[in-house]
Amino acid sequence: MINSNYIIYKIICSTFVLIYSEWQKSQYNIFKILLKNGMTKLFEDDAYLKEFKARIIGIVKEENRIELDKTAFYAKSGGQPGDTGAIEAETIKIQVLDTIKENNKIINIVDDLSDLEENVNIIGKINWDLRYKHMRMHTALHLLCSIVPLGVTGGQIGYEKSRLDFNDPNKQINKEELEEKINLLVEDNHTVTSEVIESSILEEKPELVRTMSVKPPQVDGKIRLIRIGDIDLQPCGGTHVKSTNEIGKIKIGKIENKGKMNRRVNLLLSS
């Protein structure tokens, strides 16, 4: 009797151990998948982060490429250039020449991999002069977009100047009027905030998407929106300043005709 009870007890125990170890394995696999796909974009929560700690999770020696487990380096997309800067580990210091997006991963292109290897802890440093200019330019383009009631067909952010192309067959954009209006929005000091919504909400409100050429970035069925006070709300994955007065004085440059329909508005900052 004792013997058969003991056998039943052993069977239950070993079944439990087996189920538990399978469950653990599946949890581990889920965790691994999350680690692989869940690159933390530190710049989405804090665009002002200039320095951060991370771990190298991928290296391609022949192409001077590095992938980190989390990053504050913005990857080239949506018209905003990729960040540059430096990656440091103990005595090693390498330069980040560009940051790109590939298969949903953020990849740093560096000048030399030196002796860096996977799993090494590093400190990432953003080239702040370049990035902050891009943040100011980027936010200025949102303001431009909010003033001009036309479809956007393209855009590019740069250090010296940025531009937005509008579908303007009737040539209704006026340079002087635009410059006055946009500088008033800067001076009004509107707050810039971000929020994340289900992409299904966007399907119900397609008017939120003003840019005809750029598809808003979606992650796991969610979309990030950038709100500027009560004047602009756009899906956007880029980096922006916290308030419009950080942009400073805006100068509207040349307005160029690009084909029958398109007009290109160039925008410069005073500093």
Interface positions with Zn ion (CB under 5 A) = 226, 236, 238
The residue among 45 and 117 lying less far from Zn ion, judged by its C-beta, is 45
Short-list 191, 181, 160, 178, CA closest to 269: 160
Rg for the chain, CA atoms, rounded: 25
The residue among 157 and 252 lying less far from Zn ion, judged by its C-beta, is 157
The residue among 86 and 269 lying less far from Zn ion, judged by its C-beta, is 269
User: Of all residues in this chain, which one has the CB nearest to Zn ion in the complex?
Assistant: 236
Task: Give the Cα separation of 244 and 235 in Å (integer).
Answer: 18
The residue among 124 and 238 lying less far from Zn ion, judged by its C-beta, is 238
Task: Give the Cα separation of 174 and 55 in Å (integer).
Answer: 50
CB of 31 to Zn ion, least distance (A): 32
CB of 213 to Zn ion, least distance (A): 14
Give the 3-state secondary structure of residue 94. strand
Give the 3-state secondary structure of residue 209. coil
Tokens matching residue 69: 């487990």
CB of 247 to Zn ion, least distance (A): 13
End-to-end CA distance of the chain: 90
CB of 248 to Zn ion, least distance (A): 18
As a residue count, the chain comes to: 271
The residue among 94 and 265 lying less far from Zn ion, judged by its C-beta, is 265
Cα dihedral sign, 34-41-54-100: positive
CB of 246 to Zn ion, least distance (A): 14
CB of 236 to Zn ion, least distance (A): 3
Which residues, 6+ apart, have CB-to-CB distance to 114 below 8 Å?
92, 94
The residue among 56 and 157 lying less far from Zn ion, judged by its C-beta, is 157
Task: Give the Cα separation of 195 and 201 in Å (integer).
Answer: 13
Main-chain dihedrals φ then ψ at residue 70, nearest 5 degrees: -150, 155
Q: What distances in angstroms separate CA 214 from CA 153, 191, 211, 247, one per listed residue?
A: 8, 24, 6, 23
Residue with tokens 């002002």: 48
Residue with tokens 């002796």: 115
The residue among 186 and 226 lying less far from Zn ion, judged by its C-beta, is 226
CB of 264 to Zn ion, least distance (A): 19
CB of 194 to Zn ion, least distance (A): 9
The residue among 21 and 193 lying less far from Zn ion, judged by its C-beta, is 193
